[in-house]
Amino acid sequence: MTIAPDHKPTFAKMSLGEQLGKAMPVLLIPILVVLGFFAIGAPSSWLTLTVSGLAMGMMIFIMASGLTLVFGLMDVINFGHGAFVSVGAFVGVSVLLALGGWTGTPSLLLNIAAVLLAVVAAMAVTGAMGWGFERVIVKPVYGAHLKQILVTVGGLIVVEQLIHVVWGPDEIFINRPETLKGAITFAGAAMEKYRLLAVAIGLILFIAMRMVLRRTKVGLIVRAGVENGPMVEALGYRLRMVFVGVFIAGSALAGLGGVMWGLYQEVITAGMGERMMVLVFIVAIIGGLGSIEGAFIGALLVGLTQNYVAFLEPKLALVSNIALMTAILMWRPQGMLPVVKAK
């Protein structure tokens, strides 16, 4: 062994500005929450709105996570992602309606069991659908964005119509299980139990996703694949298999999001997924396509903004998200946490 050459590697220290720039996306959430506090004035309304904003954000995140990863990994943009949201909602709600005896009694255990069964059924169906969708609709048009958009929109139309065929043309109303109805009061603010549950589930899922992406080998392969797919292949991993897996998982998560959103709204329609896509896209874009963390932050920003603005000036609620998107893209044209693509 020869002596290593005189070479003392160091990192240049990041300036305060750079550090702030890096942390800024995360800081936006508390900044927004504080701004909301001053704009709204009344602490109890503010707390209620913050909880519902976070709940909405978590649900959008669950729907958006699969979309953004699928894009990052294979450069596939799935405009039909909303179909999984709708199908998930219909399957889940059907299960809940069938288990009316379990959801109608005020037993926490039975209620949770019913919801769990509904979620499992919805995720199984949408996961399987995702697998089929990938094979039939998406796979033949890899690498061609224009065709991808057209074909996945076509898939969305067909799936929506199939929902009508199976479940009929009307919307379906659903009551939340007994123990998830109502609100708890904290510091004078009413917070719906269901929203708190949604926040908890969203947080758990986000942490779990991060763990999988950071601590497992499959997670490493996914993250590396988002950055430089060909190199991952050259190291000996079949990216296509990983991609199909992510597509299925993403579809199943969209299905979960559908069930949660359905219970949140207490009514489901075949077009609900299509309408959610607007928010899902905004979240994926402002987060930075391909970034799970970005989607998470983006979703919370969208949820909070929408709820605060809906309280302050109801007519501007949806437009507020466009404004948010515009502002963030002016600041960072590639989104808040852009994925650095090789080359």
Partner 1 sequence: MLTKFLSGDQPRSRALTAILLMILICLAGAPLLFDGVRPLDTAARICIFIVLVASYDLLLGYAGIVSFAHTMFFGLGAYGVALASTYMGRGFDALIVGSVAGALAAVVLALMIGLFSLRVRAIFFAMITLAVASAVAVLVSQFSGLTGGEDGLTYKIPRVLTSANRMGEFLGTRISGKILNYYLIFFASLALFLLLLRIVNSPFGRVLQAIRENDFRAEAIGYRVVWYRTAATCLSAATAALAGSLFAIWLRYVGPDTTLSFEIMLDILLMVVIGGMGTMYGAVIGATLFIMAQTYLQNLMGVASEATHNLPLLPHLLEPDRWLMWLGILFILSVYFFPTGIVGRLRERGKA
Partner 2 sequence: MSDPILTLDNIYTDIAQYHILQGVNFTVPRGQVTMLLGRNGVGKTTTLKTIMGQWHAKSGAILYEGRDINTLPTATRARAGIGFVPEDMGIFGDLTVEENMILGCTSGPLDPARKDWLLAAFPALATFWKSEAGNLSGGQKQMLSIARALAEDRQLYLIDEPTKGLAPAIVSTMAQALRELKEQGASILLVEQNFSVARALGDRALVMDDGAVVWSGAMAELADSKDLQEQLMGLSMEAH
- The footprint of partner 2 (CB under 8 A) covers 1-2, 4-7, 9, 11, 217, 220-221, 223-224, 226-228, 230-239, 339-340, 342-343
Query: Smaller CB distance to partner 1: residue 124 or 323?
Result: 323
Binding segment toward partner 1, per CB under 8 A, in 107-115, 248-256, 258-266, 316-324:
316-324
Residue 155 near which of partner 2, partner 1, none (CB within 5-8 Å, type-dependent): partner 1
For residue 149, the SS3 value is: helix
Q: How far is the CB of 11 from partner 2 (least distance, A)?
A: 6
Select the residue interacting with partner 1 from 161, 214, 230, 238 (CB under 8 A). Answer: 161
Q: Which does 203 bind (CB under 5 to 8 A by kind): partner 1, partner 2, none?
A: none
Report the partner that residue 315 touches, choosing among partner 1, partner 2, none (CB closer than 5 to 8 A by kind). Answer: partner 1
Neighbours of 55 (CB within 10 A): 25
H or E element: which one contains 296? helix 292-312
Residue 226 is a binding residue for partner 1 (CB under 8 A) = no
| Exposure string for 99-130, b = 16+ CB within 10 A, e = fewer | beebbeeeeeebbeebbebbbebbbebbbebb
221 contact, one of partner 2, partner 1, none, CB 5-8 Å limit per kind: partner 2
Which stretch, 175-183, 224-232, 260-268, 318-326, contacts partner 1 (CB under 8 A)? 318-326
Find, among 68, 1, 2, 44, the residue nearest to 291 by Cα: 68
Which one of partner 2, partner 1, none is in contact with 266 (Cβ closer than 5 to 8 A by kind)?
none
What kind and span of H or E run contains 274? helix 272-287
218 binds, among partner 2, partner 1, none (CB under 5 to 8 A by kind): none
CA distances from 302 to 19, 120, 163, 194 (A): 24, 27, 28, 19
Q: How far is the CB of 215 from partner 2 (least distance, A)?
A: 10
Of the candidates 172, 125, 134, the one whose C-alpha atom is nearest the C-alpha of residue 155 is: 134
Smallest gap from Cβ 323 to partner 1, in A, equals: 9
- Give the nearer residue to partner 1 in terms of CB position, either 157 or 340: 157
CA 36 centroid distance within chain: 23
Nearer to partner 2, 134 or 160 (CB): 134
Sign of the torsion formed by the C-alpha atoms of 258, 259, 263 and 267 = positive
C-alpha torsion sign, points 38, 39, 42, 48:
negative
> Is the CB of 24 or the CB of 241 nearer to partner 2?
241
Q: Residue 128 interacts with partner 1 (CB under 8 A)?
A: no
Instruction: Give yes or no for residue 134 binding partner 1 (CB under 8 A).
Output: no
User: CA-CA distance, 38 to 203, in Å (whole number)?
Assistant: 26
Handedness of CA 2, 3, 8, 11 (dihedral sign): positive
Query: What residues contact 37, with CB distance under 8 A and at least 6 apart?
Result: 43, 46
Residue count (the chain): 343
**Whose structure tokens read 């917070």?**
191
How far is residue 166 from each of residues 64, 83, 220, measured CA to CA in Å?
26, 14, 40
Picking from 260, 272, 245, 247, the residue whose alpha carbon sits closest to that of residue 116 is 260
Quick one: what does residue 235 bind among partner 2, partner 1, none, with the CB cut-off 5 to 8 Å set by partner type? partner 2
Q: Which does 164 bind (CB under 5 to 8 A by kind): partner 2, partner 1, none?
A: partner 1
Question: Which residues are at the interface with partner 1 (CB under 8 A)?
Answer: 77, 79, 137, 140-141, 145-147, 149-151, 153-155, 157-158, 161-162, 164-165, 169, 274-275, 277-278, 281-282, 284-285, 315, 318-319, 321-322, 325-326, 329, 333-334
